Amino acid sequence: MPITKKYKKIVIGNWKQNPTTHEAAKNIVKHIKKTASELKKTITVLCPPFVFLQNLGKGEQPFSKGAQDVSVFESGSHTGEVSAEMLKDCEVEYTIVGHSERRKAGETDAMVASKIKALHFAGVTAVMCIGEDNRDSGGQYLDTLKNQIKHSLAGVEKKNLSHLVVAYEPVWAIGATQAMSGADVHETAIYIKKVLADLFGHEYVVKVPILYGGSVTFRNAGEIVKEGHVDGLLVGRESINPEGFNEILKVVDAL
Ligand code: PEP
């Protein structure tokens, strides 16, 4: 499901390395399914670990399937890797790339760019994560964001921007106790759009959804999306808590 006139918002759940069993994965899906099917304007994307992708079911579902990573390679001798074509074959529509936890494990902007191109080649939408480690009063973090965007999108074709989502996730707000304020999210989202427009041209980037991620709960979800003027959310911890995630979906859909 792409963002269209009907679907105006998108909420992505990044399950990270959770849960431990197939049974528990199925249980999360079961509890989210009903709420997702009642949403009028919001696309739900569930990104479990690879091994649980099949637990999300086959065919028509009230949510889209997502993955948390992808190989830069098409196929071959790359032990442990999962290709974009394999994900496509599992009906994956969205894939997170450049998450700060993967960047910490060595993923570079150049690797992110290769992954985005591999996804585009396979027809999968890339959810490109960017975010500064810290905010400084001199505004140095804006250069960090600009460089991440520029280098992570190197070689990405304009025509494929319809298969791109940008998730702004300030690293200091991930796994924290407090999310960023809606006003600060708004300011940063404007800056991200400007950098994208300077790179590709305004007409190509107006439809690129900008999401916020970092300590989102049902309590702050509405304020962040409304005041932040973003197209949705990337949710970590709360995405494996069906009650909390369902509330986030409802709050966003009601805006
Ligand atoms: C994340 O890791 O993408 C994330 C947003 O985590 P949390 O919601 O737990 O801060």
Q: pLDDT per residue over 61-78, tens digit each?
A: 999 999 999 999 999 999
Confidence at residue 74, expressed as pLDDT on a 0 to 100 scale = 93
Interval 109-148: pLDDT, tens = 999 999 999 999 999 999 999 999 998 888 899 999 999 9
Atom of ligand 1 nearest to the CA of 179: 10
Interval 244-253: pLDDT, tens = 999 999 999 9
Residue from 104, 6, 106, 94 nearest 56 by CA: 94
Whether residue 112 has its Cβ less than 6 Å from ligand 1: no
Atom of ligand 1 nearest to the CA of 176: 10
Both structure tokens of 100: 């700060």
Whether residue 103 has its Cβ less than 6 Å from ligand 1: no
Distance, in Å, from the CA atom of 237 to the CA atom of 179, rounded to the nearest integer, reads 13
Confidence at residue 58, expressed as pLDDT on a 0 to 100 scale = 84
- Ramachandran area for residue 211 (φ above 0: left; ψ -120 to 50: alpha; else beta): beta
Whether residue 216 has its Cβ less than 6 Å from ligand 1: yes
Residue from 32, 12, 204 nearest 95 by CA: 12
- Kind plus residue range of the DSSP H or E element containing 233: strand 232-235
Nearest CA to ligand 1 atom 3: 236
Confidence at residue 57, expressed as pLDDT on a 0 to 100 scale = 85
Catalytic residues: 99, 169
Share of the chain above pLDDT 70, in %: 98
Whether residue 48 has its Cβ less than 6 Å from ligand 1: no
Distance, in Å, from the CA atom of 150 to the CA atom of 136, rounded to the nearest integer, reads 21
Q: Which one of 69, 107, 169 would you pick to mutate in the ligand 1 pocket, going by the greatest count of ligand atoms within 8 A of its CB?
A: 169
Q: Which one of 172, 174, 233, 241 would you pick to mutate in the ligand 1 pocket, going by the greatest count of ligand atoms within 8 A of its CB?
A: 174
Q: In the predicted model, what is the mean pLDDT of the chain?
A: 95
Interval 27-71: pLDDT, tens = 999 999 999 999 999 999 999 999 999 888 888 899 999 999 999
Summarize the confidence of residues 96-111 as an average pLDDT: 97
Confidence at residue 5, expressed as pLDDT on a 0 to 100 scale = 61
